[in-house]
Amino acid sequence: MKDVDEFKTWLTDRGAEILAPTNPYEVLRFRSSRSVSVIYQNNKGRRSFTGEASDAFDAFKAGRKWTAGFNRRRYYGGEKARLIETLLARDGNECCLCGRPMPDDDMTVEHIVPIGAGGTNHQNNLGLAHEQCNRKAGHMNAVAKMRLRDELRSAQP
């Protein structure tokens, strides 16, 4: 796959480490300072992306800037960085409210049910959101938040 081969070079030039695929459906696996990301391709040629793969591939195609060098642990601190990594692995890099990708330095942990309303710090009650979206959601209850989520998503160009 020519585009993937060029993407590999592009990633390497930006500090990412290309890793060996672990199964036949992986067309590309790479590591940045933030995470390990994979591009899968099924029998029908349909691709799916994990971690930063989609963000990086979009940047590659659009000629946008991207670097593998952002150090999440340094930026957020170890404990929060680990939580962010867990949530990224589960949910991908989209804001749980507006659905848009989150830049490396703009990830906040959103409580779906606020602590004040009986929500917990368990991962089931957590998602990642832009700081601005998180602030908009404030202490809204879960239903109001679902409405906000719909609003933010329908407001997209």
Q: Which residues bind Zn ion (CB under 5 A)?
A: 95, 97-98, 130, 133
Q: What is residue 92's three-state secondary structure?
A: coil
Task: State in angstroms the smallest separation of the CB of 109 from Zn ion.
Answer: 13
Q: How far apart are CA 5 and CA 17, in angstroms?
A: 14
Q: How many residues does the chain have?
A: 157
Tell which phi-psi region holds residue 100, choosing left (phi > 0), alpha (psi between -120 and 50) or beta: beta
For residue 153, the minimal CB distance to Zn ion (Å) is 9
Closest approach of Cβ 146 to Zn ion, in Å?
A: 14
**Complex with Zn ion: residue 29 or 130, whichever CB lies closer:** 130
> CB of residue 108 vs Zn ion: minimum separation in angstroms?
9
Q: Which is nearer to Zn ion, 97 or 126 (CB)?
A: 97
Q: Which is nearer to Zn ion, 69 or 138 (CB)?
A: 138
- Identify which of residues 74 and 153 has a Cβ nearer to Zn ion in the complex: 153
Beta strands, E only, the chain: 17-19, 26-31, 36-41, 47-49, 108-111, 126-129
In sequence order, which residues have a C-beta less than 8 Å from that of residue 26 and are 6 or more positions away? 38, 39, 40
Shortest Cβ distance from residue 134 to Zn ion (Å)? Answer: 8
CA pair distance 122, 137, nearest whole angstrom: 19
Closer to Zn ion by CB, 56 or 95: give it: 95
CA Rg value for the chain: 17
